[in-house]
Amino acid sequence: MASEELMSMLNDKVNLGEELVVKLESVDEIDGVMKLQRKIRQEIEFLKKLQKSKKVKVEQLSCSNLRHLGAMVDCALRPGVTSVCKIFHINDSSKLVIDIISEQGRVWTKVIARNPKSLSALSAGKASYGARSILDQAEDYLECAKLYPCMYQPPKVIFEFMSGIEENLANKLKAVGVIVKGEILPDSNICDEDDVSWGSDASEDECLPDENGQETSLKEMSQCLDEHPEINTLNLDVTAMMAYVSNMTNGHCNFVFKQEVLTQQCAWEAERPVKPILERLFEGKSLVCCETAWNDFEKIVNTLGGLMEVKRTSDLKQLIRVYPDDFGGEDDYPRKNLKVRGHVRLRSKIIFNFGHRIKALTVSANEGFLRAAMQQGITYAAFIHESRALTEGKEPTATKFTL
């Protein structure tokens, strides 16, 4: 191929890469988008070095990962995407990058842009030792999905083939539980390796570690019980119990306190009362908590609570069943290894892991914990409400006003 033609192709690829980066700017709030942009920029830098050297080979262009990255961008721009390039740990030594997470965590999608022939050949064992086929990757996805359920159901696993997939391989994927998207092509006769593009998209499974500590949308975590009527047990966090018994949420939000945070919460409570939300949530459900949650909550009430808050705590105790912290057995792999640091406090880890073991919805205002846990690749089934503090003991020094 003439060098001028190769340089023209090279320029086109550089322009494509720059367009992909710009496209992602419209969805930069999605977790992992900056990571994907960084991956594209790395590819652009490599191509620009070739431009500068003016020594480009056709193999270098065919091995470019921009085709796969472009397919990732197309998927990231779809409605309902909550995360891209999300890293999950299968065990202490193995991790998996999930290309696209959507539908509030209920769907995991792997994007494949490889030549259909090469996929079939690799799955038939016609590749170098150690190369992983699409069937191997399907096993990884399905195994990982079981470790990270969404509302206690493993996410659906979709493999989307941007260049199509041959029928025999598609049927094998469907048989193990993978949903196949893309054009189903007739099977070809896999002959020699010269007919197969092994280099194309070779690095499509790679992804950079997240260095930016991006926040992930809590939409994956806070899901209304109306969507999940099968969950009949609610695990109450300390924050939920405080909000339930607080004087502020029980008709006494007409105060200006010396503490600015309490005055702010009163204003929120007047606009968005929390107690009716909790009461509707609790209706017809079994209320539980672990010993750590109840003991810490009781200590807070006994230290800071007023007479009415203490009385409501006594009434709440009649509605809730307290279990040992270790009830339900040992924690599963990823949650057991959740590192206690920053917003991940030991008490919160105990409470949320307890809820996960008994397959309850944890009711909490502790969104900081949920965000921090998600940065470690760990999700919990949770309903998030606004935080409310105990206020009865502060009322004597506050200014009361008429609503």
Same domain, 94 and 187: yes
| Cβ atoms of residues 79 and 42 within 8 Å | no
Distances in whole angstroms, Cα of residue 256 to Cα of each of 387, 396, 403: 17, 11, 12
Specify the pLDDT at position 213: 32
Span 170-217, pLDDT tens digits: 999 999 999 999 999 998 765 444 444 333 343 344 333 333 333 333
Same domain, 63 and 202: yes
Its domain, for residue 155, covers 3-218
Same domain, 213 and 248: no
Q: Poorest-confidence range of 3-12, 151-160, 313-322?
A: 3-12
Specify the pLDDT at position 47: 87
Q: Which residues contact 118 (CB under 8 A, 6 or more apart)?
A: 196, 197, 198, 200
Same domain, 213 and 276: no
95-102 vs 81-89, strand pairing mode:
antiparallel
Same domain, 108 and 55: yes
Specify the pLDDT at position 219: 35
184-185 vs 179-181, strand pairing mode:
unpaired
Span 238-255, pLDDT tens digits: 999 999 999 999 999 999
Specify the pLDDT at position 321: 97
Specify the pLDDT at position 229: 62
Same domain, 82 and 228: no
Rg (CA), the chain: 26
Task: Name the residue with higher pLDDT: 347 or 89.
Answer: 347
Mean pLDDT score across all residues of the chain: 86
Last residue of a domain, one of 198, 218, 238: 218
Last residue of a domain, one of 196, 218, 240: 218
Q: How many residues can be counted in the chain?
A: 403
| Cβ atoms of residues 390 and 305 within 8 Å | yes
Q: Poorest-confidence range of 212-216, 283-287, 343-347?
A: 212-216
- Does the pLDDT of residue 235 top 50, yes or no? yes
How far out from the chain centre does Cα 130 lie? 30
Span 42-95, pLDDT tens digits: 999 988 888 888 777 776 776 678 889 999 999 999 999 999 999 998 887 888
CATH number at residue 226: 3.40.50.1010
- H helix and E strand count, the chain: 15, 14
**Joined tokens for residue 34:** 């900056």
In angstroms, rounded to a whole number, what is the distance separating the alpha carbons of residues 333 and 91? 7
Same domain, 209 and 228: no
184-185 vs 156-161, strand pairing mode:
unpaired
Same domain, 205 and 283: no
Same domain, 44 and 114: yes
Specify the pLDDT at position 227: 54
Same domain, 169 and 238: no
Specify the pLDDT at position 371: 87
In angstroms, rounded to a whole number, what is the distance separating the alpha carbons of residues 244 and 287? 13
Number of domains making up the chain: 2
Last residue of a domain, one of 194, 218, 242: 218
Same domain, 104 and 135: yes
Same domain, 13 and 44: yes
Mean pLDDT of 27-37: 94
Q: Which residues contact 170 (CB under 8 A, 6 or more apart)?
A: 180, 184
- Does the pLDDT of residue 158 top 90, yes or no? yes
Span 86-99, pLDDT tens digits: 999 888 788 899 99
Q: Which of 6-20, 129-143, 385-399 has the highest mean pLDDT?
A: 385-399
